[in-house]
Amino acid sequence: MTSSAAADPEEVRFVHVGRQPIYDRCGDVIAYELLFRATADAENATQRSAQATSRVIVAAFTEFGLAELAGSKVCFVNVTREFLVGDLPVPFDANQAVLEIIETVSVDDKVMSGARALVEKGFTLALDDFVWGAGSEQLLDLATYIKIDMLNTDVNAVAETVRRCREFPHVQLIAERLETEEQLQAAMQLGFEFFQGHVLGRPHIVSKPSLSPARLGRLQLIAALNATEHDFDEIVALISRDPAITYRLLQATNSAASGLSVRVSSVREAAVLLGMATVRQWVTLMLFSDLTEATEEQLMAALIRARLCQLVAERAEIAGGAAFTVGLLSAIADLLIEPPAGVISQLPLSDQVAKALTTGTGDLGQVLSVVRAYEQGEPLAAFTMLGVEDIVSSYLSAVGWSTHTLNGALGGAHTRSR
């Protein structure tokens, strides 16, 4: 499926986070440092800036989740001056990550004050690439971890730094950038508590499709379009905020209304002329296509699932609109190769819909399980919600509706691309 440049769907973007383990003296992983990576095959960070830190924090906490990245282990996250002095917020709880102050931070009164305030809030600080005399020793009273570079430093100089750091009994030392077995053994002999470097484990890069703000907005629009009770003004406003979707909707609407004397020039006019039900069908298809880069065959299968969920629910006297949403969002999750919880985590869905997607419970969860079972060809005797004839006739009806909807929603885009 193609369209004009003005209507091209947003490319699927991936977010990447490097994750390097930190080991104790027994060789057990006790923490992970989360590192900025611009691409999936980048061996090193291309930048260590406030922007890079922000991207790591956003990716770790909103795209992946700390549990996925680190399990129960501690995470170390680099922070720049902006985070220490309050120009940028530290948006997570104090017990969720160690704040690793990078070596380029110039320590002055504002940094000291900001670091002290963070510690008072319960945050744990680490000093990265620590060198005695560079200025960051002012933070030793506040820091819990000190990281010392073992790669390009004279062993005697490291030994002296270790000796002076031991004057602060509360700090624990991490030997970093360990590239060889000899460096690891030297760090062990110097009494470091923890160890990090390529000789032990290189950063492992984890990647996943990003729910960018535009994509998240489109998921929210899908939820609003398929809510049980429609807020006309809200839906018009949400569609109007997406220039690509607005453009394509107006093109499709004017194409559909070519036999009429009126031409629409706004989302509101399109909704009034065609009715919200038709607008919902078209926009949902456009959104679904953009979010997943789906083929027409995949779009058809997803629409059939959503419509079949709706029909099964209505026959069982369960809310059909909510069931449609459950079916459609489950199909989006499948095409994004994402667990449903990751897709819906930031959507304003009802508890009933959320539970159906994440745990398969409740009436809507049962509807989805029935539809999935039918898709997978499980014995019809397993269906207890409907009779065999009901589920078959509902499926055929869903196929017919989906074919009509797909042809209507995408016809305008196909005409423009030829």
Cβ contacts of 115 within 8 Å, gap of 6 or more: 84, 101, 125, 139, 142
Let me know whether 162 and 254 are in one domain: no
Higher pLDDT pick, 50 / 225: 225
Residues 139 and 267 in one domain: no
**What average pLDDT does the segment 269-278 reach?**
75
Q: What is the pTM of this model?
A: 0.51
pLDDT, position 248: 66
Tens of pLDDT, residues 311-334:
999 888 888 878 888 888 888 788
Q: What is the mean pLDDT of residues 183-204?
A: 91
Pair (133, 267) in one structural domain? no
What range defines the domain where residue 313 resides?
213-417
- Which carries the bigger pLDDT value, residue 113 or residue 82? 113
Same domain, 264 and 173: no
Identity of the residue numbered 286 = M
Q: How much is the mean pLDDT over the chain? A: 77
Same domain? For 336 and 221 the reply is yes
Beta bridge partners of 126: 100, 145
**Region of poorest pLDDT, from 33-47, 74-88, 335-349, 403-417:** 403-417
> Are 402 and 253 in the same domain?
yes
pLDDT per position as a tens digit, 28-61: 999 999 887 554 444 444 444 566 666 677 666 6
Mean pLDDT of 231-246: 75
> 302 to each of 202, 285, 371, how far by Cα in Å?
40, 10, 11
Please report the pLDDT score of residue 416 as a whole number. Answer: 31
Mean pLDDT of the 234-254 span: 71
Contacts 24+ apart (CB under 8 A), 71-75: 73/29, 73/30, 73/31, 73/32, 74/30, 74/31, 74/32, 74/98, 75/31, 75/32, 75/33, 75/34
Least confident of 9-23, 103-117, 127-141: 9-23
pLDDT value at residue 302:
83
- The Cα 71–Cα 218 span in angstroms is 30
Shared domain check, 217 and 203 = no
- Residue range 227-255: mean pLDDT, rounded: 70
